[in-house]
Amino acid sequence: MSLRVGFMGTPAFAVPTLQAIVAGGHDVAAVYTQPPRQAGRRGLTLTPSPVQVAAEQLGLAVRSPINFRDPADVESFEALGLDVGVVVAYGLLLPQAILDAPRFGCLNGHGSLLPRWRGAAPIQRAIEAGDAVTGMMVMRMEAGLDTGPVALTAETPIGETETAGELHDRLADICARLMVEALAKLEAGTLTFEDQDTLAARTGREPVYARKLTKAEAAIDFGGEAESIARKINAFAPAPGAFVEMTLGGPTERVKILRARAEAGSGDAGTTLDDRLLVACGTGAIRLLELQRAGGRPMPAEEWLRGTAVAAGTGLVAAGTP
């Protein structure tokens, strides 16, 4: 036997789960994803989402409603006769009629240890906050934001200098395995759920909102505490990318810092303490491990320094910036 599934997802994070569901022999009746977006330097090219590309390669029907305010979109979803909806990073709020349409409701793959880090950026905020462990959860969706009861959990440690991009890819693979397990249990009638209030009481995890990252947050202020700055840099990589305005013997340029590690050291904030990009902070110091100039590619610090020597005592921060 197999389940009749409606899949909803948009970014690359959701692709492994879609592929795993198909490989597991389930009948994916339709794939819902956000409409193609304008891309290219002039925004003239419409680019389909990674999920749409993957779905078309698998020969699956793709639907891209702008939202579900049109009753016809709700009716066409209901007409699919689904056993279950699977939602992974779809990016649209689903009305109750959609959540209720499948026989077993809708399951969501969420990249945190709920109820901690509900919201748009759970992977990044977990790194920024210094969480030692995060994970994937499969929950049953309800009207609230990431508040539904949880069925399955898979925990994973966060590395000292692991970036959000690396953790994102690892969690995407974990999500695929976990969702396939959830569907197997759902089909067998053995999938059970735990209310998040009970889960919070059992684990001590309090609800925290993972607000969306903004470019305004991305500027690095070396006047802060080294560990916090390093975590922020790793959390914001690869996008939007934490940055600093540098003046290195030429015009001021914006450089993204894509990986960093807190180390011992003291000095004037924003000043290098050696010739290998150890930078003093308000408290402690950080080692810059990966950088990217505007228009360039990401480079390990060693490679970056071969083209841009930075002596100890160099002030990296341009005047007028944090």
- The binding site consists of 112-115
- Mention every residue, 6+ apart, whose C-beta is less than 8 A from residue 116: 126, 131, 205, 206, 207, 208
Both tokens assigned to 67? 């939202």
From CA 92, how far away is CA 100, in angstroms rounded?
16
Helix (H, G, I), strand (E, B) or coil at 106: strand
What is the DSSP track for 233-292? Answer: HHHTTTTT-EEEEE-SSSS-EEEEEEEEEEES--SSTTBBSSSS-EEE-SBSEEEEEEEE
Give the separation between CA 127 and CA 12, rounded to whole angstroms: 20
- The binding site for (6S)-5,6,7,8-tetrahydrofolate comprises 112-115
Residue 5 DSSP one-character state? E
